[in-house]
Chains A and B, each alone.
Chain A
Amino acid sequence: MNETKKKGAGMAQLVLVLFAISAITALLLGLVNSLTADAIAANQQAKIEKAMNEVLPASAYTDVTASYAGGDATVDTIYEAEGAGYVVQVSPSGSFSGTLSVMVGVTSDGACSGISIVKTSETSGLGANASKDYFREQFQGLTGTASVTKDGGTIEALTGATITSRAVCNAVNSAVAAAASMG
């Protein structure tokens, strides 16, 4: 009799302690989250705006993704850059690892004005070099279809990262097509 009672108390204690610890932790996390949420959102916004300004400077950007009817699933977001053209965020297919997210500026006459890598999990030292200036500069002012030299194009692929380079080319092509479909 006594023993079963002890066991019962032990079980209740296990549950209670674990519950209390989890509850306190959850409470603390909620607190920290509410303190940092604004700063994190601001950081992300600042990063996107910086990337947009880099690829196609304009005074204001408006999100016009809703009116896109091109049906290209790799196109994530389209911003209309005031009087300059479009900035298109693309997650191209065929990246080497994880999701690659590229911001592409397209001028009103359909040329690529620059690219910026927003998110990458490509191999560091190889594919991750796609965010280096010497690679990105190749896309500035590019007209027509982007492809790497190996495929008969003009883009010098990154050393040891042809797959990543091709993915970036795909992103640029998708972006240009999307911008063209927006008129």
Chain B
Amino acid sequence: MDIKKQFKEGLITQNPVTVQLLGMCSVMAITTTLFNGIGMGLSVLVILTCANVVISLLRKIIPSKVRIACYIVVIAGFVTIVDLLLQAYLPDLSESLGLFIPLIVVNCIILGRAESFASKNGVAASAVDGVFQGLGYTVILVIMCVVREFLGNGTFGGGILNGGDGIRILPEGIPALGMVLPVGGFLTLACVIAAMQYFLNKPKKNADTKEEVSK
């Protein structure tokens, strides 16, 4: 088990959102305030870690023919538990995330990690993978929330700071409302992915450009 490598993969080189391009639906839909982003990110992190651990534990028992069904049952179980706990103890968050908590069941990040990692690796490594992949997801959500909230609403920390309204940075009327609508989600995500790819490919950029020129 190589924690350093897993950390780097989860957050950067194999980031679930910007590199594996998984779970885009929730990324677009809920990244409008910081509170939503952190809440959704942590929910996914918890579910992903739990599901990874259980699936890794059961990997020798689960027959490969019914593995997807088994994974989905395990994942759906954890998602429902988190959903119920949020409704009971964090009703505000549960309300603002709405349908997107139950929809984590079909979030490809979780099934993807179960299939490609937890079903082939030990319990500890799978737990670490869950945490780091979850962190990678959370970090991207938070970045998108901050950008979209700033450009779309002109505030920072909506849902948490300043009694839930967030700290106003831009005066009302200036922010472009489109940024908190779906179109802003696509724009922001595209920019984040582009920036990520740029930095990932930077070291070998010279070689690449030369090749392209010669073509």
Is the C-beta of B91 less than 8 angstroms from some C-beta in chain A?
yes
Expressed in whole angstroms, the Cα–Cα distance for A21 and B177 within the complex equals 46
A36 neighbours in B (Cβ, 8 Å): 84-85, 87-89
Q: Which of B61-75 contact A (CB under 8 A)?
A: 61-63, 65-66, 69-70, 73-74
* B90-123 vs A, Cβ < 8 Å mask (1 yes, 0 no): 0100000010000000000000000000000000
Expressed in whole angstroms, the Cα–Cα distance for A36 and B88 within the complex equals 6
Is the C-beta of B21 less than 8 angstroms from some C-beta in chain A?
no
Instruction: Give the most central of B65, B77, B153: most A CB within 10 Å.
Output: B77
B66 neighbours in A (Cβ, 8 Å): 14, 17-18
Interface size on B, residues (CB 8 A): 27
Is the C-beta of B19 less than 8 angstroms from some C-beta in chain A?
no
Q: Which of A12-61 contact B (CB under 8 A)?
A: 13-14, 17-18, 21-22, 25, 28-29, 32-33, 36, 39-40, 43, 47
B58 neighbours in A (Cβ, 8 Å): 21
A32 touches B61 (CB 8 A): no
A17 touches B77 (CB 8 A): no
Expressed in whole angstroms, the Cα–Cα distance for A159 and B65 within the complex equals 54
B63 neighbours in A (Cβ, 8 Å): 10, 13-14, 17
Q: How far is the CB of A135 from chain B (nearest CB, A)?
A: 14
B81 touches A28 (CB 8 A): yes
Q: How far is the CB of B142 from chain A (nearest CB, A)?
A: 18
- Chain A at the B interface: SS class: helix
B152 touches A32 (CB 8 A): no
**A10 closest partner in B (C-beta):** B63
Expressed in whole angstroms, the Cα–Cα distance for A43 and B62 within the complex equals 39
Expressed in whole angstroms, the Cα–Cα distance for A123 and B180 within the complex equals 10
* B38-79 vs A, Cβ < 8 Å mask (1 yes, 0 no): 000000000000000000001001110110011001101100
Is the C-beta of B143 less than 8 angstroms from some C-beta in chain A?
no
B74 touches A25 (CB 8 A): yes
B65 neighbours in A (Cβ, 8 Å): 14
Is the C-beta of B181 less than 8 angstroms from some C-beta in chain A?
yes
A28 touches B181 (CB 8 A): no
Expressed in whole angstroms, the Cα–Cα distance for A47 and B69 within the complex equals 38
Expressed in whole angstroms, the Cα–Cα distance for A36 and B61 within the complex equals 31
Is the C-beta of A2 less than 8 angstroms from some C-beta in chain B?
no
A–B complex contacts, Cβ < 8 Å, 24 sampled = A10-B63, A13-B63, A14-B65, A17-B62, A17-B70, A21-B74, A22-B73, A25-B77, A28-B77, A29-B77, A29-B81, A32-B84, A36-B84, A36-B87, A36-B88, A39-B88, A40-B87, A43-B91, A47-B91, A121-B98, A123-B181, A125-B32, A125-B180, A160-B177
